[in-house]
Amino acid sequence: MSIGVKKSYNFWSNTWKPFNSNHKNNHKNIMMSLKSDLRADLLLLTTAFIWGFSFVFQSTGMDHVGPFTFVFGRFVIATIAIVPIWYIMEKPQKVFVFQPMDIKAFQLGIIMAVGMLVQQSGLMYTTVARAGFLTGVYIIFVPLIGLFMGSRTEWPTWIGVFLSLVGLYFLGQIQTDQFLIGDGLILLSSVLWALHVIYTGKIANQISVFRLMFLQFAVAAMLSWLVMLIFETWDWQAVKGAALSLLFVGVLASGIGFSLQVVSMRSAPASHTALILSLEAVFAAIGGWWLLDEYLTTIELIGCGLILAGGLVSQLKIFLKFSGDAIQHP
């Protein structure tokens, strides 16, 4: 090879190398981002499934105990259940040493306790389907509250929110002249859950998932215990009757469900998280049909379809991001 040809070859080879390397790195980053988004959505979908079915157990559990006793039992079980999982997953060394982010965990525990106490009380005066609908309304509260807190919501999420709200309305079949006191309590709890989702998203990457869960559950258990002492009386026989319901909501809905939510929110924004979690209304309706013989009408099935469509539309941001980066880096 002549010197001139060799120099020319080296020039083009060296010029192409960084471009080729950047292309590979960009493609790798795109795939990692896509995988992270899909993983977060799968965790949120699992959470929505668990929480949807928990409405059935929350309702049947109150055949035996009052709402405040039920919430107290739920969070005691959740606090106990999260400890072995915490030690297996992280082997914490300084459990009882105060950390600055613990204050945020305490605040989330207060929001969680009040939200659950209000929601559980509302279930005494309304149906599972209506409760599922009104709880799901927090999908509109999250982006609205987020706007005042400086959070940005992408347009696919807003379209998904609209479709899901219409679907939730069809699924709940609530008329304004039928609005009950229980519906008002559930609606109030949905505002509190919106705040809980937003604040969880802000601190999810700043504290251990399991430390956050343990502190939240412990605070919620103490607050609900105080409320129970004021308004109700602890009855061991009644609690035994509600044991299955308490175990489901304590271990699965609280211990596992809330932990999955925090893990997923390390990469998923609050408004998108709320939209995927709104599928709990669909799973609540399925749980009512399967376990309580509550049949779905055609309108309610349409509602389920619209909620699912809303969740799918919200995923457009993932595919638009992927296709946009692919076009930019062929």
Report if residue 18 sits inside a domain. no
Q: How many folded domains does the chain comprise?
A: 1
Q: What is the Cα gyration radius of the chain?
A: 24
Report if residue 323 sits inside a domain. no
Predicted local distance difference test score (pLDDT) of residue 12 = 45
DSSP structure string for 147-214: HHTT----HHHHHHHHHHHHHHHHHHT--GGG--HHHHHHHHHHHHHHHHHHHHHHHTTTS-HHHHHH
d(CA 278, CA 267): 18
Predicted local distance difference test score (pLDDT) of residue 16 = 47
pTM attached to this predicted model: 0.76
d(CA 291, CA 53): 9
Would you give per-residue pLDDT tens digits along the chain (330 residues)? 554 445 554 544 555 455 555 555 555 555 555 566 678 888 888 999 998 889 889 888 999 999 999 999 999 999 999 998 888 877 777 767 778 888 999 999 999 999 999 999 988 887 777 777 778 777 777 777 777 776 666 777 778 778 877 877 776 665 554 456 777 888 899 889 989 988 888 888 888 888 999 999 999 999 999 999 999 988 999 999 999 999 999 999 998 888 888 888 777 777 677 778 878 878 887 887 787 776 767 887 787 777 767 766 765 655 555 444 443 444
Report if residue 227 sits inside a domain. yes
Predicted local distance difference test score (pLDDT) of residue 215 = 93
Domain span including residue 199:
43-316
Predicted local distance difference test score (pLDDT) of residue 326 = 40
Alpha helices in 204-315 (DSSP H): 209-231, 236-241, 243-247, 257-264, 270-277, 280-292, 298-314
User: Which two tokens mark 73?
Assistant: 């039992």
Report if residue 294 sits inside a domain. yes
Report if residue 22 sits inside a domain. no
Tell the burial category of 178 from Cβ atoms under 10 Å away from its Cβ (0-12, 13-18, 19+). Answer: exposed
Report if residue 143 sits inside a domain. yes
Asked if residue 86 lies in contact with residue 217, where contact means CB atoms within 8 angstroms, the answer is no
User: Which two tokens mark 266?
Assistant: 């390390």
Report if residue 95 sits inside a domain. yes
Report if residue 326 sits inside a domain. no
CA nearest to 218, candidates 330, 123, 80: 80
Predicted local distance difference test score (pLDDT) of residue 24 = 52
Predicted local distance difference test score (pLDDT) of residue 72 = 96
